[in-house]
Structure 1
């Protein structure tokens, strides 16, 4: 078992829906530590770096538009095996398929414009977490 860091981004729909406190409370109730937190207005450069594997996808412009609809809240969470636990806590990517009790299952939904707005981003591996932290929290890079 190893101490890890992971990135959580409360996306614009999560911020607008006033779920920041709910999400942080869930993290803290699991006993994990919030080691950094800030409000971020995402730049196109940050989004291109974060979603480097999706930059050439046909939906990328809509993804950028969504992620720039409003502020994000970035959170670094630290704890034993935290990456996989927080990723599971988020739930399935599509909110309509996410289990109740997960962040996306409880707070996410589909919208008439067809864009996937799913409240939260969580890192899916320890190496990806460190890469993503370096984008959103360069001052916390290792």
Structure 2
């Protein structure tokens, strides 16, 4: 298996809940390498590019509002088979359905306003990871 890179975004609820260190610790305890890390205030343009397949969805305004509730922390990490491993580590998209032991199962919850706030984003394929890295870390392209 080849080395891969992936993008992790600690979303505003994960930052506000002070889970940045917990998430980084999980990545490092698996033996993966943190290649880049930064605090980001997401722009609408970045969000439209990142969620390009959801721009026309009825929930897109709520999604962008959520992603702009506060800063996010972007992480580029690398390692063998990292994309699928970290995607599993994140847990089910809906935190109410995520298994204990996953990031969303341990730190996520459902909210009375019905908006999905799920702590973390992880890339779902190596090609998608590289596309997403280019959006949030343009300085990391072709590394």
TM-score by length of 2: 0.99
Q: CA deviation at 1:141?
A: 1.0
- Aligned runs of 1:3-22 on 2, under 5 Å? 3-22=3-22
- Aligned-residue Cα RMSD (Å) equals 0.3
- Report the counterpart of residue 76 of structure 1 in structure 2: 76
Specify the SS of the correspondent of 1:4: strand
Specify the SS of the correspondent of 1:92: coil
CA distance in 1, matches of 2:121, 2:98: 14
For residues 59-89 of structure 1, give each alpha carbon's deviation from its aligned partner in whole angstroms, at most 9, with x where no partner exists: 0000000000000000001000100000000
CA distance in 2, matches of 1:93, 1:67: 15
- Report the counterpart of residue 86 of structure 1 in structure 2: 86
- Report the counterpart of residue 135 of structure 1 in structure 2: 135
- Report the counterpart of residue 50 of structure 2 in structure 1: 50
Regions of 4+ moved over 3 Å: none
- Report the counterpart of residue 105 of structure 1 in structure 2: 105
Long gaps (5+) in structure 2? none
- Report the counterpart of residue 67 of structure 1 in structure 2: 67
Long gaps (5+) in structure 1? none
Specify the SS of the correspondent of 1:24: helix
For residues 39-69 of structure 1, give each alpha carbon's deviation from its aligned partner in whole angstroms, at most 9, with x where no partner exists: 0000000000000000000000000000000
